[in-house]
Every structure is written in structure tokens, then in C-alpha cells.
Amino acid sequence: MTENFIEPLITDDKVVFGLLTLCLGFVFYTSAKKTGFWGKFYTIVPGILLCYLLPAILTSTGIIAETWKTVDDAGIITEHESGLYHMASRYLLPAALVLMTLSIDLKAITNLGSKALIMFLTGSVGIIIGGPLAILIVSIFSPDTVGGNDFDAIWRGLSTIAGSWIGGGANQAAMLEIFQYNPEKYGGMVLIDVVVANIWMAIILLGVGKTTKIDKWLKADASAIEKLKVKVTAFTEKITRIPTTQDYMMLLFFAFTAVGLAHFLGENISSYLGDNVAAVADKKSFLSFLGSSFFWMVVLATIAGIALSFTKAKNLEGAGASKIGGVFIYILVATIGMKMDLGKVLENPGLIAIGLIWITIHAGLLILVAKLIKAPYFFLAVGSQANVGGAASAPIVAAEFHPSLTSVGVLLAVFGYVVGTGGALLCAYLMEVASAL
């Protein structure tokens, strides 16, 4: 996390939340202008990127902060943390997952074929081999950067990034628990995770506007994706209506009742498994991710949305279910942007270099496989973000292609949590070997 001993100008979350919504409102207001400066600007810079960047600028200039430390006259250090990301990730994210899968067409998604899964797994392999290769490359120019002894060993810290980039926060926490990286230095690893992941996401989003050209270069057949778009769009147009207060209340009922159940059941399931299943309780086990209440929250919220898609609740898409879900996701995006202090990017250029080389290997492998199997850019982008960004980012990227594709990102992101711990463990052991060479 971004930490400092300078108290930000604004520490009241209620005021900070207002600033974040101001940023989002500015982006959406200006991106709606199709002529003049803003019309040209948004043909180059995706609006979603600014939704990350503007809060990051507020953090970088000391106006707000996600975490900070203060020292009183007696020299006692107090740590502070904004509660906005926790609120967005624990309340709004699961609600968004429910609303975005409310009208899911599982049969149509199945018709997309195996390429989506192949690209997702390729992304995972790219992370697994990218870490050790990045260490080997950087060690040639700066051996000290990849060194360290015992619990200060850099590969231990990088294992947490592997957990985050293959799975998500639950897998990242598992890696920190397993390899016991020095907590005082862990903030630097989170910084690399956030900075590099956001740089890569920015590149992916820049490519969304050039999807047709990229698919042509890849010689990809995107007909199945187009059929899904047409089918979902036709369904949405058929049921679209002017929403009433009752519609909105029903949407809130389904979304947040599911959120409450997801939290209640998730916490109880994770506690039960942690207390009664040795493989789950053991942080070094492949199954340790099953002890994460956040994992179960995401899975259960997604299952709730899919279950509702088989009922008449599916018709609430006509009242704007996915649009409200999208609003929740954008609020989450702004709180993620708060985590990024742009001023700290160059504080440890060696580690940033490892991260950039690592993500480049991941990207290169995805492009190579996409070219070989003629996979559409959509599968490359969402397959990557289902790894690197998880449940918070994959639906956003999918929606940038078309709102009807959001559910594809959700399902792949959930799968990422399943393979996250095992993949990160393999990556960590390979990085340990690479560090010793």
C-alpha cells in the first residue's frame, strides 16, 4: 500500500467519496462530447483510464490517500486507512456481480468455444514463467535488485504479486502468509502490483478502440462474439422499459440481499473449512484459497446472479440492472485509483523494471498464442485481466468491448481465484531457483 508520514489534505472519507464521484462525473460528462477537444481526446485516451488516473493524481499530490501514517509529539506512530476501497470491494463489487450476471445467457457464452479458456490459461502461464525470467534478466544488470536474504529475499515479495496477478487478493494474502516476506517492505510490492497492473490495463484499454484492426492482424474469427452481442442486445431491447421506483427497489433487493447472504455464507463456509479441513487451514496448500471469505463472497454473488437469470428477475435488465452494476464498478475503479501514488513509481526503479519485464512476458505469450490459435482480441484482453486484475477489472474490460460481454469477464475472474494459489506457488519456487543462479 502507499504509505507516508505526511497527512493528506483531506482525510474524511465522506469528503473523499465526494471527490471521487466528482472525478467520475467529470470523465463521463466530457466523454459524452463527440466534437472539439474532448471528442479528439477520448479517441486516444479511454475514459475508464481517466477514472483510475484522476484519483491517482489526487493521491500523488497529497490531497487524499488510501493509507498514511502520522507521528504525534511523543513519537507514537499511528496508521490510518481509508474505508472506501473496503466498502466498494465488499459491498458494491458483489452487488455489481449479481446485477451484471442477472441476464446472463450461459448457452450463448458456452458457444464462444474454448478459446476464451485457452487465453485465460495462457495468461496464467505467462505470469508463472514471467516472474523467474524477469529476475534472471534484471540480475544481469542489477544483481542487488533481485537479492536479499531470508525473509528479505525479493523472490518472497514477488510471490505475493504472482498470487495477485494469477488469482486475486485472497491468493496474494496466502503467498504473504506462506513465504513470510518482511512486512515492512511489503508495501513496495503492493506498489509494483498496482502500478504495473494499471499500466498494462491502460495498454489493453487503448487496444479496445482498435479491436477490428487487431483481430484482422490476428486473423481471428469474432463471429461467435458478435452473435452473443446481437442476441443479448435484442433481448435487452425487447424488455427495455422506463424504470419505476419499484424496479429500482427490486434491483436493490436482489443485489444487496445476495450480498448479505454471500457475506454470511462466505464467512461461515471459510471458517468451517479452515477449522475442519487441514488442507484449507494449511497456508502452503493448493486449497488454502478456500479459506478466504472474499473468495466465497465473489463466488456466491456470481452464483446468485446466474440463478436469478433462470427466473423472471432476468427481465430487470430492461430496467437497467447491468447499468447500475456498472455504476458500482466505476466507484470501485475510483477507489482502486486511490491506491496508486504516481510519485513513488521511480523510488525503486529496479523492482519496477522487474514488474514491467514480467508483465511484458505475460503479454508477449498472450499475443503469440492468440496469433497461433487466431483468438479475437477480446479473449486476449479479458483472459489477461481475469488473471492480473481479477473480479474488479475483468468485467470492466469486457464491458468496454460491449456491455453484453461483461458476464464473460466475471466467470473467468472467478476461475482465476481457483488456480491462483497453485500457480503462484509454482511461480514462487521458480523465482527462488532463478534468484540463486
Average pLDDT over residues 418-436: 84
Give me the pLDDT at residue 4, please. 47
Domain that holds residue 212: 90-436
Please check whether residue 60 lies inside any domain of the structure: no
Q: In the chain, how many domains are there?
A: 1
Query: What would the pLDDT profile of 268-287 be if each residue is shown by its tens digit?
Result: 999 999 889 887 887 666 67
Question: Which value, in Å, is the radius of gyration of the alpha carbons in the chain?
Answer: 21
> Is residue 376 one of the residues assigned to a domain?
yes
Instruction: Give per-residue pLDDT as tens, 58-81.
Output: 998 999 988 888 887 777 888 888
pLDDT for residue 201 is more than 80: yes
pLDDT score, position 5 = 58
Is 327 domain-assigned? yes
d(CA 293, CA 173): 12
Whether 131 has a pLDDT exceeding 50, the answer reads: yes
> Three-state secondary structure along the chain?
CCCCCCCCCCCCHHHHHHHHHHHHHHHHHHHCCCCHHHHHHHHHCCHHHHHHHHHHHHHHCCCCCCEEEEECCCCCEEEEECCHHHHHHHHHHHHHHHHHHCCCCHHHHHCCCCHHHHHHHHHHHHHHHHHHHHHHHHHHHCHHHHCCCHHHCHHHHHHHHHHHHHCCHHHHHHHHHHHCCCHHHHHHHHHHHHHHHHHHHHHHHHHHCCHHHHHHHHCCCCHHHHHHHHHHHHHHHHHCCCCCHHHHHHHHHHHHHHHHHHHHHHHHHHHHHHHHCHHHHCCCCHHHHHHCHHHHHHHHHHHHHHHHCCCHHHHHHHHCHHHHHHHHHHHHHHHHHCCCCHHHCCCCHHHHHHHHHHHHHHHHHHHHHHHHHCCCHHHHHHHHHHHHCHHHCHHHHHHHHCHHHHHHHHHHHHHHHHHHHHHHHHHHHHHHHHHHC
Residue 72 inside a domain? The answer is no
Q: Minimum mean pLDDT among 166-170, 377-381, 402-406: which range?
A: 166-170
On the question of pLDDT at 3 being above 50, the answer is no
pLDDT at 1: 40
Q: What is the pTM of this model?
A: 0.74
In this structure, is residue 40 part of a structural domain? no
pLDDT at 160: 87
The verdict on residue 266 lying in a domain is yes
- Structural domain includes residue 69: no
- Band (306; pLDDT cuts 50, 70, 90): confident
Q: Does any domain span residue 221?
A: yes
